[in-house]
Amino acid sequence: MLRRDFIKLSGTFLAGASVPGLISACYYNNNSNPSLTFPQGIASGDPRPSSIAIWTRVAPSNSTISSTNVTAEVALDEDFTTLVLQQKFLVTEQSDFTIRVIVQALEADTFYYYRFIANTGVVSRTGRTLTAPLNTDAQDIHFAFVNCQNLRHGFYSAYRRMINDDLLVDDNKKIRFVLHLGDFIYETLNDSLQDPIDAQLNPIRNGLQDRNGNLRAISSFPDGATTPDGTAYANTVEDYRHLYKEYLKDPDLQEARARWPFIHIWDDHEFSDDCWQSEANYIDSGTRSSTNEPSQPRKIAANQAWFEYMPVNLLHLDDVDADLRHSKEYSFTAVDSSSNLIINDQNLASNSDNLAAIDSMTIYRSFRYGQLIELILTDNRSYRSDHAIPEDITGNQPGFLHPRMVMPIDLVNELDAGNTANNGNPDIFIVAGGIVTNPRYSSPPGSILGSKQKQWWKDTLGRTDAQWKLWGNSVPLLRLLVNTSALDLGISDVVLSTDAWDGYAHERNELMNYLIQNDIRNVISLSGDVHAHFAGVVMNNYDDSDQQSTMLEFVSAAISSVSMFAAVEKFTRRENPVPFEQQLRSLITYDSRQTDVVGDNPFVNNLNNTLLNGTASGLAAAQSNNMAAINAAKDPSVNSHLRFIDTDAHGYGIVAVTTNDLTIKLITIDNITSDPGTLGVAIKSMATFIINPTRQGDEPLITEPVITGTPPFPL
């Protein structure tokens, strides 16, 4: 297929900003309801100095229509009196009637307005977008970063809060773009929500109603499939398209996408929970051969739907470095669900179906914003190796064990190191609920980025001369350790999640040491995935007594997905718990009504305290609910790299970059379970960090945050 033909069939069009010829007799029926014709709204994305992507979906009037015409207009003013583009395009069912126009030859650092006109004359809402400044520009840059928006768990009030606040600030402080770090959709429908032990502990409910009294729910999949426990998940391109169409009906999300250009990367739920390459991870027990879940057709389908519904530009327009152009648009490939999982020396499952599925589209890419910012986005799913500890080791174990949560750090590190463990002499047998054969004895060390993308990451960071290097990194680098070894229960220290970089410490150490060895400074990771706010210092090796700080990381809580605290709280619940299970659970939460009640919520989020101050402090809190006892039991060696934590938050992050410093605000909103409408939800708290650039030889520093509003316990 010729490339030009492919671009047309995929719903992507190239257009120059020069008004190629005004379309005559174009009468706009403004009395019609544009939501009937453009039900998913409009969007723009991937801003560069001279180009921008604009997007919409034109709903067909009936199922027999296979194509329709739509006109795209771009102008310098909201009244569309100064047009720079007016062009008609053919939109077909092959792209689910979505259209993406890459508008070129634009002016840098300029606002543009855009809209779409259906062949019936119905006009979409008007969108506003903003191109990036020239690389020589030193102006301030403000933007937001967000992630994780499960539609069924709550409302998107965070977007409305962002919009309302942005309307009030000075023009030079307004948000220029929104960085979305993934989990834009969730691929399951009827996974169980948190069933709280008390309404005050966790108010998430089924049956949320919006501002109009409508149930916040998603209708059944056109096709779908179910896991052994009955969870329905997307299985075909029609299923994934269905999710995007449902999610994009949300009015607050539509408003945000119309106000700002978005820059998107994905995480796991755009395809499959905790996925790696083209493998799903729904089954957590049994033998390894039975838990392989090859899902190459699903990966192809997920990639296609993401490409159709995201306003992305993967065509290398305005790329700074020609030899670092790796991204490419989606291309359909016929694959089967091959289960051959022989891992090659690049950590890829070498069966042709897997390689074809992950190669159907490449989305890691970078953006330059003047002199101040190089924004690097990595794909942390398509090239990663399997999780360090396979399900056949953990799946049948009793108690709290889970193949990707709360896992012993020593075992995780040993298996992640593969054939490099113990200085290249890995143990043939390991202890994991008994003596078992080391499944990673001959495997290469684990990887999240994969070899090709990792080299691109190094080359891009090593080459850029931007003052700040920002990494859009969908899973956190920060170590989140619980020092359970201090409980004298014979339990080693554990990390909360091996699906994040804590499960791939070997590669994390490699990347951090690369920064040190090449004196690459002022690197900051912006992350999400774990449904909590975190801020801290990333070390070159958390297990080294002579560890060195290399960069900073700020993790934003979810827009609406259930919080880390609520998830861990449910994970540690037991019927008729034995004493040691009660003790472990008290590190997560306790009922303060048995002691001194402070505030309206008797159930205390003790997870914050346990992570910040150690298990002794966590137990002291549960036993006394007394701040003096909590502080006296602190262990300063536990997670000393963390500066802020709120594991029961929902919200977003705001970044302000100037020539003098960088300011990051982690904003916690008040409530996700009611719909406040256009008034917006209140801000519960805000943690503000001011970061100064480091000079050669200096280690990055992060000060204690300034917290306004109600700080999370125990801060």
- Is the pLDDT assigned to residue 640 strictly greater than 70? yes
Say what percent of the chain tops pLDDT 90.
71
pLDDT of residue 198: 37
Mean local confidence (pLDDT), 567-584: 82
Gap between the Cα atoms of 205 and 203, Å rounded: 6
pLDDT surpasses 50 at 596: no
Residue 28 has pLDDT above 60, yes or no: no
Whether the predicted pLDDT of 400 surpasses 70: no
293-323 tens-digit pLDDT: 889 999 999 999 999 999 999 997 666 666 7
* 260 — pLDDT class (breaks 50, 70, 90): very high
For residues 274-288, average pLDDT? 74
Burial of 289 (0-12, 13-18, 19+ CB in 10 A): exposed
Q: Identify the weakest region by mean pLDDT among 306-315, 387-396, 413-422, 543-552.
A: 387-396
Tens digit of pLDDT for each residue in 58-88? 998 888 899 999 999 999 999 999 999 999 9
Is it the case that residue 24 has pLDDT exceeding 70?
no
Residue 25's pLDDT is 40
Instruction: Classify each residue of 302-334 as buried b or exposed e, where b means 16 or more C-beta atoms within 10 Å of its C-beta.
Output: bbbbbbbbbbbbbbebbbbeeebbbbebbbbbe
Would you place residue 347 in the very low, low, confident or very high pLDDT band (cuts 50, 70, 90)?
confident
Q: In this structure, are residues 522 and 487 in contact, taking their beta carbons and an 8 Å threshold? A: no
Q: What is the pLDDT of residue 201?
A: 39
Q: What is the pLDDT of residue 22?
A: 54
- Structure tokens of 261? 């250009």
- Round to whole Å and give the CA distance between 134 and 318: 11
pLDDT above 50 for 432: yes
Task: Label residue 225 by pLDDT band (50, 70, 90).
Answer: very high
Q: Average the pLDDT over 441-449 and give the result.
A: 95
The full 3-state SS of 44-82, as one line of letters, equals: EEEEECCEEEEEEECCCCCCCCCEEEEEEEEECCCCCCC
What average pLDDT score do residues 689-706 get? 90
Could you report the per-residue pLDDT of 577-592, keeping only the tens digit for each?
788 788 888 999 987 6
What is the Cα–Cα distance from 654 to 649, expressed in whole angstroms? 15
pLDDT of residue 639: 96
Q: Is the pLDDT of residue 92 over 80?
A: yes
Q: What is the pLDDT of residues 113-132, one digit of tens each?
A: 999 999 999 999 999 999 99
**How many residues belong to the chain?**
715
Q: What confidence score (pLDDT) does residue 593 get?
A: 61
Residue 6 reports pLDDT greater than 50 = no
The average confidence (pLDDT) of the chain is 89
Instruction: Decide if pLDDT at 7 tops 80.
Output: no
The predicted pLDDT at position 632 comes to: 96
Q: How far is CA 697 from CA 525, 553, 569, 612, 658, in A?
A: 20, 19, 43, 28, 22
The pLDDT > 70 percentage for the chain reads 89
Answer whether residue 203 shows pLDDT above 50.
no
664 has a pLDDT exceeding 80: yes
Which of the pair, 126 or 701, is modelled with greater confidence?
Answer: 126
Three-state secondary structure call for residue 84 = strand
Binned at pLDDT 50, 70 and 90, residue 30 comes out as low
pTM for the predicted model, two decimal places: 0.94
Examine the pLDDT at 489 and tell me if it is beyond 60: yes
- Domains for the chain: give ranges and CATH numbers: 132-567+639-709 (3.60.21.70)
At 636 the pLDDT is 93
The pLDDT value recorded for residue 317 is 67
| CB within 8 Å of 356: residues ≥ 6 apart | 296, 333, 335
Closest CA to 364 of 468, 272, 270, 456: 456
Please say if the pLDDT value at position 508 is more than 60.
yes
Tell me the average pLDDT across 23-34. Answer: 56
> Which of 61-70, 246-255, 392-401, 597-606 is modeled with the greatest confidence?
246-255
Is the pLDDT reported for residue 288 higher than 50? Answer: no
Lowest-confidence pick of 5-14, 82-91, 194-203, 308-317: 194-203
pLDDT for position 426: 94
CA geometry: angle at 574 spanning 572 and 579, to 5°?
A: 90
Banded model confidence at residue 402, pLDDT cuts 50, 70, 90: low
pLDDT for the residue numbered 19 = 65
- The pair of structure tokens assigned to 303 is 């990639």
Residue 274 has pLDDT above 70, yes or no: yes
Q: Which one has a higher pLDDT value, 192 or 512?
A: 512
**Comparing 164 with 202, which gets the higher pLDDT?**
164
**What separation, in Å, do the N-terminal and C-terminal C-alpha atoms of the chain show?**
60
Cβ atoms of 530 and 555 within 8 Å: the answer is: yes
Predicted confidence band of residue 473 (pLDDT cuts 50, 70, 90): very high
